[in-house]
Structure 1
Amino acid sequence: MATPTIAVLVGSLRTGSHNQALAHALEKLAAGKASFEYVQIGDLPLYNQDFDKDYPAEGLRLKEQIKKADAVLFVTPEYNRSVPGVLKNAIDIGSRPYGHSAFAGKPAAVIGASIGAIGTALAQQHLRNILAYLDMPVLGQPEAFIHFKEGLIDGQGTISNEGTRDFLQGFVDKFLAWIATHGGQH
């Protein structure tokens, strides 16, 4: 497979998002081995089944970005012990109408960062359940629940802690091997 294109969905819209920083750090670790395409999800309307008859332009854009990608990387915070609403909404829009999911068959990985001690463990578990239903082969190991501390990732996407950097390099390498094994479908 040529250099894979990875659609990146970050479940945080916040300026200075820890998860946005994590996504950029992962992109830096994948340099030359994959192309990261960030999918805008903040402008999507709330999913409504009435869309199934006439999809909004923002929804069609999201679906096309996912379809063109070889794989999908979900980088999520944890809100109230689950997936942020903005990320769930993007998944709902991209997977509908029934039988026309842009996600089906796409290799995926899940990761997230939080200042909380358990990272994003519960949000990731909920997200894995959703992705299983969407027929996405999801990388099982390593699980990565990043406890984000100030200074962990600088403005250039460099991870300051060597152990964390090595762990995340392993995550990226396993995901790239997963994509190669599970052949992202266009």
Structure 2
Amino acid sequence: MMQYQVAVAVLVGSLRTDSINRKLATAMTRLAPPSLRFHTVGLGALPMYNGDLEVDRPESVKQFVEECERADAFLMVMPEFNRSLPAVLKNAIDWGSKPMDKCVWRDRPVAMSGTSPGAIGTAVGQQHLRQILGILGSAVLGGEAYISFKPDLVALPEVSRS
């Protein structure tokens, strides 16, 4: 019997290699049921959104949009910068929202989380993210997870490469 798998694109709102939010995203995907198939969509190669580039979109933008279009749902994991979402994630959302009739976020479920060393985790940043995705027509999932990161909160065992 074939089991249906939901393709979930993971967007991490941090470019740091050793990002605590990247670690959190990895831990979340490892704890998820096998019916969810995750793939990380990189944000680092995207240029800053500029409407002048819409005429001939850069290859990095085309690839990003194609990867997002293949997703049934999204998981966004982000730090909080200045009580808001990181620019790299907002930039990716902007690219994926244009043109509006081809918005990759519309009608797609989005779950979100994030962590920071602060006491309230990423509460305010996630509130902004909810507002943005709501106006774009995403089905933002309920529930909130604001995680105050502590060293060794997430222990990631090595994955066998054999």
TM-score, normalised with respect to structure 2: 0.92
Contact 1:6–1:70 under 8 Å retained in 2: yes
Aligned length: 156
Contact 1:112–1:145 under 8 Å retained in 2: yes
Work out whether 1:107 is the aligned partner of 2:105.
no
Q: Return the letter of the residue paired with 2:74.
A: V
Tell me which protein shows more strand as a share of its residues.
2
Instruction: Give the match for residue 145 of structure 1.
Output: 146
Instruction: Give the match for residue 74 of structure 2.
Output: 72
**Percentage of pairs with the same residue:** 48
> What is the alpha-carbon distance in structure 2 between the residues aligned to residue 131 and residue 33 of structure 1?
24
> What is the alpha-carbon distance in structure 2 between the residues aligned to residue 60 and residue 102 of structure 1?
12
Q: Return the letter of the residue paired with 1:155.
A: L
Q: Return the letter of the residue paired with 1:90.
A: A
| CA-to-aligned-CA distance 1:80-119 (integer Å, 9 cap, x gap) | 1101000000101111123221111111111101110010
> What is the alpha-carbon distance in structure 2 between the residues aligned to residue 114 and residue 87 of structure 1?
16
How far 1:31 moved relative to its partner? 4.6
> What is the alpha-carbon distance in structure 2 between the residues aligned to residue 25 and residue 60 of structure 1?
29
**Other structure's SS at 2:29 match:** helix
Instruction: Give the match for residue 118 of structure 2.
Output: 116
Q: Which runs of 5+ in 2 are unaligned?
A: none
Tell me which protein shows more helix as a share of its residues.
1
> What is the alpha-carbon distance in structure 2 between the residues aligned to residue 156 and residue 12 of structure 1?
21
Contact 1:77–1:114 under 8 Å retained in 2: yes
| CA-to-aligned-CA distance 1:115-141 (integer Å, 9 cap, x gap) | 100100000000000000110011112
**Other structure's SS at 2:129 match:** helix
How far 1:30 moved relative to its partner? 1.1
> What is the alpha-carbon distance in structure 1 between the residues aligned to residue 110 and residue 53 of structure 2?
26
Please provide the CA RMSD for this pair.
Answer: 1.3
Instruction: Give the match for residue 53 of structure 2.
Output: 51
**Other structure's SS at 1:9 match:** strand
Tell me whether 29-38 or 63-72 shows the greater mean CA deviation. 29-38
**Other structure's SS at 2:141 match:** coil
Instruction: Give the match for residue 156 of structure 2.
Output: 155
Instruction: Give the match for residue 85 of structure 2.
Output: 83
Q: Which runs of 5+ in 1 are unaligned?
A: 158-186
Alignment of structure 1 residues 19-58 onto 2, 5 Å: 19-58=21-60
